[in-house]
Amino acid sequence: MARRFKVAVAATAAAALGLSGCGSPSAKNDSGKADTGQIQAQQSATDPDAKGPAPDVAGAKKGGTITVYAQTTPSTLDPTDTYYTDSNEIEKLTFRTPTQYAIRKGQPVLVPDLTDLGTVSSDNLTWTFKMKGTFKYEDGTDVKVEDLAYAVKRSFAHDVFPNGPAYQLSYFKDGDKYKGPYASGDNYAGVETQGTDTLIIHLAKPFSDLPFYLTFPAFTPIPKAKDTKQDYKNHPLSTGPYMFDQFVPGTSLTLKKNPNWDPATDPVRHQYADTWSFKWGGELVSTQQKVLNSAGDDANAIQYEEIDASLVPQLTGEKKKQLLTGESPCLYVLNIDTRKITDINVRKAIAKAQPWDALSKANGNNEYTSEPASTFLPPGVPGHTKYTPFPDLTGTGAGDPEGAKKILTDANKLGFEVSWYYDNTKPIPQQISNIRADAMTKAGFKVKAIGVATADLRAKVSDYDAPVNLNQGPRGWCSDWPTGSSWLPVMFQSKAIDEGTAWGFLQDKTLDQKIEDVAKLPTNEATGKWAALDQEIMGQYVALPWYYTKMAIVVGSGIGGAVGDATVGMPFLPDLFVSS
């Protein structure tokens, strides 16, 4: 799952999640209107023929310094160790990867970057990627295909880079045995090169979304001779339009133009601003207020965290244009353990009892940052279809305790015990738990809400053998890439229980096979089939959808080209320019 910044900025206390977002027509450079906007459904988009240079952004100007504020600090800018969405977006300015997303009319489109989109063998276990030309690092040296292979190997060193993405450990050949170049040496059967331009990846099992996965910074080329291991993060070699100038870990980063980046080879990025100045750690509301005020240099600034609810009333008149809204393929749910709540009528009663409106209010949801959910695939994910919602699965409503009580009575389950953990050190989770407990008690359930400290919550919620039956496991999810296979297989196949990602805790072999059959298909073929599965699983009431997240961030009045990046729920930095 794409992970957002750590700690403080997590939007709610019901779950702490990563966010991704899609550009929407309400993006700043389109109408200039910051409306709340319904989330737009996306269709799958790949463009294997895309070539550089990237089309110019309307009205773009060169020059100036863009300042970027955030309260939460990216923990690392080592590409191998990058999984959080903030680092991921920042690194789009500095690192090119085999494939990448271009944002076209607000939608992410997978395009070739350093390599093509790849071809897969007939057994689906070998992918071949060809480099799309010649490229240079910031120091003028050539990017070699061996550097791409080395980056793949480096991504296995999880003892050294524990935060990086880990799909390769289970999908790539011998991924469970190889521990990276430092511990296991250079011989790794999962990756090879041929000639000067061919990268071949061998898999342990089919991975039809591999081209999407290769957009992660972990696969940016790294020359082995220049790999300084844990120190690499202090000045990683750039292949993108910008390079490190000054970096103070945990505090600030200044990027300057990379003279060896060739725009003619890059279908994604631009080099409009002269410099970028990232400043982390400042207080959230005051920095957002400064950006909204747009005095002096702050007119050319953005603050890429979700707008604080207290500032929303200021979004009138001209200031409306300073709110960049977009899509974010994340979903929050109320998870039900079907191993313990086996009767679907009980699950339906739980759904009927939920006072979603009150819960949303307590959670601080507002029209800019969230939208009630009724499907598992968020609208930001290609393949989403807004089918007719199942009863009480719309993420809205005051709840119907009497109706729920009737269901329980008819099923002879009045007084059924429901239990969950909540964070009893923070006001919002406490309030949400109290509202839910109150509603479910009125609905005839016996409620056991167990308060635990923040530091213990993760361990408790991750313990699938704990003596509770609601809200275990991930309380929300964001796709790591915009396809259905980043959702349904991850959450609903039986293996999800062992992998700690289960919604519903299903152990249905028939469903496993159905999901597997769709996941094996090429991405564009699979897109149309996910909705049917989504609907089938939803009808089992195994996880109750609450809300999709949306992106809503403030930009200075002098910033142009602002559009959302659906894949990470952030503004798409490579398109920004200083307009004044």
Partner 1 sequence: MLLYILRRVLSAISVVIVTVVASFMLFFVAPTDPAGVICGPRCTPERLADITRSLDLDQPALEQIGLYFKGIVAGRTYTAGGVERHCDAPCLGYSYVLGVPVTDLLARAVPVTLSIVIGGATIYLLVGVLVGTTAARLRGTSLDRAAVGSSLVIGSVPYFVVALIIALYATFLPKSQYTSFFQNPGAWASGLLAAWLCLGLTNSASYTRYSRASMIEAMGQDFTRTARSKGISERRVVYRHGLRAAMTPVVTIFGIDVAYQLVNTIFTERIFQLPGLGLRLLNAFNQYDLPVLMGGVIVGAVVLVTMNLVVDILYTVLDPRVRLG
Report the residue number, 142 or 283, with the smaller CB distance to partner 1. 283
* Smallest separation, CB 180 to partner 1 (Å): 6
Beta bridge partners of 242: 257
H or E segment to which residue 381 belongs:
none
The correct pick among 36, 501, 507, 540 for binding partner 1 (CB under 8 A) is 501
Beta bridge partners of 202: 126
The correct pick among 31, 121, 194, 462 for binding partner 1 (CB under 8 A) is 462
The correct pick among 180, 326, 489, 564 for binding partner 1 (CB under 8 A) is 180
Report the residue number, 115 or 471, with the smaller CB distance to partner 1. 471
Q: How far apart are the C-alpha atoms of 489 and 518, rounded to whole Å? A: 9
Stretch that binds partner 1, among 99-107, 139-147, 177-185, 398-406 (CB under 8 A): 177-185
Q: How far apart are the C-alpha atoms of 345 and 510, rounded to whole Å? A: 22
The residue assigned the tokens 């807004």 is: 386
Report the 10 Å Cβ neighbour count for 56: 12
281 interacts with partner 1 by CB under 8 A: yes
Cα angle, residue 198 at apex, residues 575 and 184 outer, rounded to 5°: 95
* Smallest separation, CB 76 to partner 1 (Å): 6
What is the end-to-end Cα distance of the chain in Å, rounded? 38
H or E segment to which residue 535 belongs:
helix 523-538
Contact status, residue 254 vs residue 558, Cβ threshold 8 Å: no
The correct pick among 189, 309, 398, 459 for binding partner 1 (CB under 8 A) is 459
Report the residue number, 3 or 132, with the smaller CB distance to partner 1. 3
| Footprint of partner 1 on 467-486 (CB under 8 A) | 474-477
H or E segment to which residue 164 belongs:
none
Q: Retrieve residue 264's tokens.
A: 């003619």
Stretch that binds partner 1, among 194-202, 308-316, 499-507, 519-527 (CB under 8 A): 499-507
The correct pick among 32, 48, 63, 162 for binding partner 1 (CB under 8 A) is 162
Report the residue number, 7 or 309, with the smaller CB distance to partner 1. 7
Map residues 75-94 to x or -, x wherever contact with partner 1 holds by CB under 8 A.
xx------xx----------
| Footprint of partner 1 on 219-248 (CB under 8 A) | 229-230, 233-234, 248
Stretch that binds partner 1, among 103-111, 256-264, 438-446, 497-505 (CB under 8 A): 497-505
Q: What is the DSSP string of 22-66?
A: -B-TTSTTTT------PPPP----B-TT--SSPPPPTT-----EE
Beta bridge partners of 577: 560
Beta bridge partners of 430: none
554 interacts with partner 1 by CB under 8 A: no
Report the residue number, 245 or 456, with the smaller CB distance to partner 1. 456
Contact status, residue 92 vs residue 299, Cβ threshold 8 Å: no
Q: Retrieve residue 155's tokens.
A: 């991504």
Contact status, residue 428 vs residue 361, Cβ threshold 8 Å: no
* Smallest separation, CB 31 to partner 1 (Å): 29
| Footprint of partner 1 on 332-391 (CB under 8 A) | none
DSSP 484: G
Q: Which residues of 212-249 are buried (b: 16+ CB within 10 A; e: fewer)?
A: bbbbbbbbbbbbeeebeeeebbebbbbbbbbbbeebee
Distances 311 to 72, 179, 510 between C-alpha atoms, Å? 19, 47, 49
* Smallest separation, CB 311 to partner 1 (Å): 12
18 interacts with partner 1 by CB under 8 A: yes
| Footprint of partner 1 on 52-71 (CB under 8 A) | 69
Stretch that binds partner 1, among 45-53, 278-286, 306-314, 381-389 (CB under 8 A): 278-286
178 interacts with partner 1 by CB under 8 A: no
Q: How far apart are the C-alpha atoms of 444 and 408, rounded to whole Å? A: 7
| Footprint of partner 1 on 285-314 (CB under 8 A) | 286-287, 289-290, 293, 295-297
580 interacts with partner 1 by CB under 8 A: no
158 interacts with partner 1 by CB under 8 A: yes
Report the residue number, 36 or 314, with the smaller CB distance to partner 1. 314
Contact status, residue 420 vs residue 449, Cβ threshold 8 Å: yes
Report the residue number, 204 or 414, with the smaller CB distance to partner 1. 204
Residue 169: helix, strand or coil by DSSP? helix
Q: How many chain residues interact with partner 1 (CB under 8 A)?
A: 63
The correct pick among 28, 96, 144, 279 for binding partner 1 (CB under 8 A) is 279
Q: Retrieve residue 300's tokens.
A: 């050319």
Residues of this chain that interact with partner 1 (CB under 8 A) are 1, 3, 6-8, 15-18, 69, 73, 75-76, 83-84, 157-160, 162-163, 166, 169, 179-180, 182-184, 229-230, 233-234, 248-252, 279, 281-283, 286-287, 289-290, 293, 295-297, 453-456, 458-459, 462, 474-477, 499-501
